[in-house]
Amino acid sequence: MALEVSIAVERWPIAGTFTISRGSKTEAAVVVCTLADGTFTGRGECVPYARYGESLESVCAEIEALRSALVNGATRDDLPALIGAGAARNAVDCALWDIEAKRSGKSVVELAGLSPLRDLTTAVTVSFGDVETMAASLRSFAGRPLIKVKVGGENNAERIAAIAAAAPSSRIILDANEGWTEANIIENMLAAAKAGVVLIEQPLPAGKDAKLAEIPHPVPICADESAHGTDDLPSLIGRYDSINIKLDKTGGLTEALRMQQRARALGFGVMVGCMVGTSLAMAPAMLVAQDADFVDLDGPLILKQDREPGLVFNGSQVSPPSRDLWG
């Protein structure tokens, strides 16, 4: 049955400002791909990321270029030959999963051959700022079991110590977003180890991270910007201990599930992360996150308001998506 393809840009205000080492944002600008056949509808959401050369315009154009193929019956298995990995393919891949599930009368979980989904504990994120502001944010989250803290720039030893003191009972992930250097990484890692940090995410820039194979890892190091898809994994051995799987990088749920299996076979730990988006973007990632060591799917909590229906959060616990949302 032929599909109708719709592409929409949506803007969701952030509660305050979200800041990482390379900049700040006050809204989540997302692209939603909707596929409809007259009876059933499937949706997928993606977040274009300028770090990877993506924009709202370029992602919409990439999806538009797939219109003819989708109308003529292209499937998820066809997508890698039609479009590269990234945000656009993610939106289309997840929309195809969604409409396939609705047409079959089965859930995406069943179609993927997975066990029933369970509630998960997600990290909550503290954005980058001055030490006093960050410490205050940490104290407000001090009862949460897992906190991800954006770091970068200079004076990280002081920042890390203040972070640890502000939430002493929480497990803390530091996300440098490529903001550390070869000159300060050892000092920063030793400060993180002293503070009891459980994971350091992408300390050095992608493509300039060879030093990670030469130095001790007193705290495990997770690849984010250095890990896009399954084919990247062999080159990360010896440099990283874990990888962060994000559907906007892999190009959708199909590749994310494949990447997770391969990562485990190679001995990597797995984190499942997200861009700042709505529950529609988080829902497919919940399937991959069932077998993750660390879950970071708090994107909707950063927004002023999520879409309805959305994922249900109870503190740091997030429940599987309803069929009305996705899947």
d(CA 318, CA 121): 6
Edge-to-edge order in the sheet of strand 199-201: 124-126, 146-150, 171-175, 199-201, 221-223, 242-245, 269-272, 294-295
Say yes or no to pLDDT of 172 above 80: yes
Q: Are residues 287 and 191 in the same domain?
A: yes
Assess if residue 115 is contained within a domain.
Answer: no
Specify the number of domains making up the chain.
2
CATH of the domain at 27: 3.30.390.10
Percent of the chain topping pLDDT 90: 85
Final residue of a domain: which of 56, 73, 106? Answer: 106
Q: pLDDT of 265-308, one tens digit each?
A: 999 999 999 999 999 999 999 999 999 999 999 999 999 999 99
**Strand partners of residue 268:** none
Say yes or no to pLDDT of 127 above 80: yes
Final residue of a domain: which of 106, 140, 157? Answer: 106
d(CA 135, CA 68): 52
In this predicted structure, what is the pLDDT of residue 67? 97
pLDDT tier for residue 241 given thresholds of 50, 70 and 90: very high
In this predicted structure, what is the pLDDT of residue 154? 67
Indicate if 211 belongs to the active site. Answer: no
Q: Are residues 70 and 131 in the same domain?
A: no
Q: Are residues 296 and 170 in the same domain?
A: yes
Assess if residue 131 is contained within a domain.
Answer: yes
In this predicted structure, what is the pLDDT of residue 159? 83
Final residue of a domain: which of 106, 128, 143? Answer: 106
In this predicted structure, what is the pLDDT of residue 20? 65
Assess if residue 325 is contained within a domain.
Answer: no
Indicate if 194 belongs to the active site. Answer: no
Provide the sign of the torsion angle of the four alpha carbons 232, 191, 216, 295, taken in this order: negative
In this predicted structure, what is the pLDDT of residue 21? 60
First-to-final CA distance of the chain: 20
- Single out the catalytic residue among 211, 246, 249, 304: 246
Say yes or no to pLDDT of 134 above 90: no
Q: pLDDT of 45-71, one tens digit each?
A: 999 999 999 999 999 999 999 999 999
Q: Are residues 26 and 163 in the same domain?
A: no
Indicate the average pLDDT of the chain. 94
Q: pLDDT of 79-115, one tens digit each?
A: 999 999 999 999 999 999 999 999 999 999 999 999 9
- Single out the catalytic residue among 25, 150, 208, 249: 150
Q: Are residues 149 and 268 in the same domain?
A: yes
The DSSP symbol for 237 reads B
Q: Are residues 259 and 173 in the same domain?
A: yes
Is the distance from CB of 24 to CB of 42 less than 8 angstroms?
no
Say yes or no to pLDDT of 156 above 90: no
Is the distance from CB of 56 to CB of 29 less than 8 angstroms?
yes
pLDDT tier for residue 138 given thresholds of 50, 70 and 90: confident
Q: Are residues 129 and 278 in the same domain?
A: yes
pLDDT, mean of residues 32-43:
97
Q: Are residues 242 and 314 in the same domain?
A: yes
pLDDT, mean of residues 235-244:
98
Q: What residue numbers bound the domain in which 76 lies?
A: 4-106
**Location of structure tokens 């399937």:** 287
Assess if residue 29 is contained within a domain.
Answer: yes
pLDDT tier for residue 164 given thresholds of 50, 70 and 90: confident
Q: Are residues 204 and 228 in the same domain?
A: yes
Q: Are residues 249 and 299 in the same domain?
A: yes
Residue 241, CA distances (Å) to 74, 94, 99, 304 in order: 37, 28, 36, 34
pLDDT, mean of residues 242-263:
98
d(CA 174, CA 180): 11
Provide the sign of the torsion angle of the four alpha carbons 190, 207, 295, 29, taken in this order: positive
Report CA 13 to chain centroid distance, whole Å. Answer: 19
Assess if residue 254 is contained within a domain.
Answer: yes
pLDDT, mean of residues 166-190:
94
Q: Are residues 168 and 282 in the same domain?
A: yes
In this predicted structure, what is the pLDDT of residue 223? 98
Q: Cis peptide leading into 309, omega within 30 of 0?
A: yes
CATH of the domain at 145: 3.20.20.120
Q: Are residues 86 and 154 in the same domain?
A: no
Please indicate whether residue 144 or residue 1 has the higher confidence score (pLDDT): 144
pLDDT tier for residue 163 given thresholds of 50, 70 and 90: confident
